[in-house]
Structure formats: C-alpha cells, structure tokens
Amino acid sequence: MGNLQADILGKQKEIEGHRNDLFVLYADLGKTIATIEQVTPLGYCHDEFLAFQKLEVRSLEAEKAYERLHQFVSQLEDRSRKIKQIENDIKSLNIPAEKLFSRLGAIAYEAYGAETLADYLLEICSPFFEGHSQRTKGLEKAFFEAGKGITDTSPFVRSKAKLKAKVLSSLLESQRKKVLPQFAKAGAALVEVGCEADIPGLGTKSLVQEIAVFQKRQQDLMEELSIHRNAVAKMKDQEVDSPHRQLEQSKNQCIAYGKERDKVASVFGRALYETLPSDISSWTVGQKAISLIDQISLHLRRIAQLEKDILQLQNMMKVEELQAQIELDNQKVAHLNAQIDAANRQISQVQQNIEAKRQKITSMMPQKALDYHGE
C-alpha cells in the first residue's frame, strides 16, 4: 500500500505541473488571440476579451509609469555618482596645485630677494616674504661676520666664531624651512590675479604653461560639476515624494497588475480553447495559436490519463484494504471456532460428569427408593 500511495502522490504532483503549464498556455493563447482581435475581430468569448483588454490597458499604464520613474531614479543616481567622482577629482588636484604654486612662489622669492620684482608684484609678494626676508638677511649678515672670526689668530676668537657660525647656520636652515609654506601661498596669490607670467626668473615660462594646463583641467571639472549639480537640483524639484519609494511602489503595482492580467488572460484562453471550432485554421488565428491549442490538448490528455491511473491505484488500495479486512475477519472466525470447540469440549466434559454422578446415585440408593423414584 505504501508504494501505491507514493505512486498516487507522484502522479498528483505531475498533474499539478501540467495544470501550471496549462495556466501559462491558456494565458499565451488569450494574449495571442487578443492581439488578433484588436486588428480583426473574431467574435469569440467577447466578455472575456473585454475583461482582458481592460487589465491590459491598466498593466501597460503601470509599466510606463514604472519606466519613467526608473529612468528618473537612474539619471539621479548617475548624476550623484558623477558629482562624487568629480568632487574627488577636484580634491585630488590639491597636492599638484600646491606643488605648482610652491615652485612659482620659490621663483618669486628669489626675484624678491634680488629686488627684480615690479612694484605691483611687490605688493602681492611682500606680505608673504618681507618679514622672512629681513630675518634671513640679518642671519646671513651675522653668519658672514661670524665667518670672519674663524680665520682669527686667537684660538678663543676662532672657537667662539665657529660656535656662533654653527648656531647661525642652524637658524638659517630653520628659517628656510619656515618659508616653504609661504611659497605656496604667494604662488596661489599670483595665479589668482593672473600675474604668474610676469615673474622674472629661469623656468617661469614652462611653469606658467604647466599652470595653464592645470587651470584648464580644474576649470573643466568645475564646469562639469556645476552642470551635474544644477541637473540634480532641477530633478529634485520634480519630486513629490522619495523617488526610490515611489519606484518600489510602482514596481509592486506592475507585478500585481501583471499577475491579474495573466489570470484574466488564462480565463480568456481557456474559454477560447473550449469555444473555438476544432477545425479552425492557422489562417484565422495564426500558427502560434494553433500550436498553443495542440500543446493544451496534449496536457489535457495527459492529465486525463493520470487521473485515470490515480483512480485505478486508489481502487487497488481499496482492494488491498478490503483483502486485509477479510484476512482479519477470517482470523476472527478461526478464533471464534476455536472458542466454540473449547466450549463443546467443556460441555461434553460436564455432561460426562453429570452422567457419572447419576450412576453413582443409582448405586447408592436402596431398591425401594429406586422403585419410588422410578414411579
């Protein structure tokens, strides 16, 4: 019986698979005929066709709304990614910019020290170099004076001069390091007012060309960033609610309409299958519809055969069950017969006991009593 039950479950599962396939085939048939019906009305299952057509319109509208939202969100995300990328690119220009400005500032500092800067350039550079230049010149003068003492004939004077020169050398080195940040600031100030090409000195021309290339790159990035930011601002002005939430809601609506449309299409397709003449040709409904009808017929025949097989298996299970019940009843009959035989033996034994007791009574009673009892 266990094997029969397993066979039944297997065939029931197979039937379920065929019915799922039938749902899809009916829906495909309904959609196929609906396409033809919109061009050349066939007149079959009109009510089912109208129900499908109504759901089809709603489903298409929902899909269009979803596509619009999806495109909007994609553009918004794409713009946002580009903005972030451009901002990172602009940020990455800080280090090369500082290096370029520092090189320009260093050339300007040399010209400042050599007093070859024009007056308008002095106005720009003095705030960055004046204090440092004065301190440096003072230290250099003191270092030069200390150097004179190193050649003195007096050991004490030479020793004192060497110590002083060492201290002053250390101070000069420290002073040079302090001016490095001022180079970048001065260079940036010169570039800001467009005077970088006016700085006298070796290497200025090639450096100005590098700065021009850098500025062009920076300007292009800033313009591109502005374009994307303005576009994002305009897109956000169009928002009624969170676009991502709207997109998710629209997607769920499309799925719901799609499922409902497939159900109605399947109902329409099944009605068509049961209504269309058996001799209808591909000239009327198309080869695809004929192929779908043939596939549906195959599935239905297979389901009918499986249901017949299941009924036979169920009958076999009932037969096995009845046979098992008969076996139990036979066992009960045998048990009862055994009980009857035992009871008959007990009855026979009791009867024998009764007869023996009667004989004993007879042997024990006098003749008169026997005659009396006999009368």
* DSSP string covering 299-338: HHHHHHHHHHHHHHHHHHHHHHHHHHHHHHHHHHHHHHHH
Residue type for position 314: Q
Is the model's pTM score more than 0.75? Answer: no
Q: Which residues contact 179 (CB under 8 A, 6 or more apart)?
A: 109, 129, 132, 136
**What's 93's DSSP letter?**
T
Q: What is the pLDDT of residue 258?
A: 86
pLDDT along the chain (375 residues), means of 10: 84 94 94 86 87 88 85 84 90 88 88 86 84 60 59 61 62 63 86 89 88 90 89 72 76 87 92 88 86 94 95 92 93 94 94 91 73 54
Both structure tokens of 138 = 């003072």
- 346 burial level (CB within 10 Å; 0-12, 13-18, 19+): exposed
Residue 209 to residue 175: CA distance in whole angstroms = 30
Q: Which residues contact 180 (CB under 8 A, 6 or more apart)?
A: 102
Q: 3-state class of 353 per DSSP?
A: helix
Q: Which residues contact 270 (CB under 8 A, 6 or more apart)?
A: 26, 30
- 224 burial level (CB within 10 Å; 0-12, 13-18, 19+): middle
Q: What is the pLDDT of residue 166?
A: 62
Q: What is the pLDDT of residue 126?
A: 85
Q: Which alpha helices (H) appear in the chain, and where do they start and end?
A: 2-39, 46-92, 94-113, 119-150, 155-192, 204-237, 243-275, 282-285, 287-364, 367-374
Q: What is the pLDDT of residue 229?
A: 86
Q: What is the pLDDT of residue 323?
A: 92
Residue 126 to residue 284: CA distance in whole angstroms = 95
Q: What is the pLDDT of residue 367?
A: 62
Q: Are 122 and 112 in contact (CB under 8 A)?
A: yes
Q: What are phi and psi of 239, to 5 degrees?
A: -70, 135
Q: What is the 3-state secondary structure (H, E, C) of 120-187?
A: HHHHHHHHHHHHHHHHHHHHHHHHHHHHHHHCCCCHHHHHHHHHHHHHHHHHHHHHHHHHHHHHHHHH
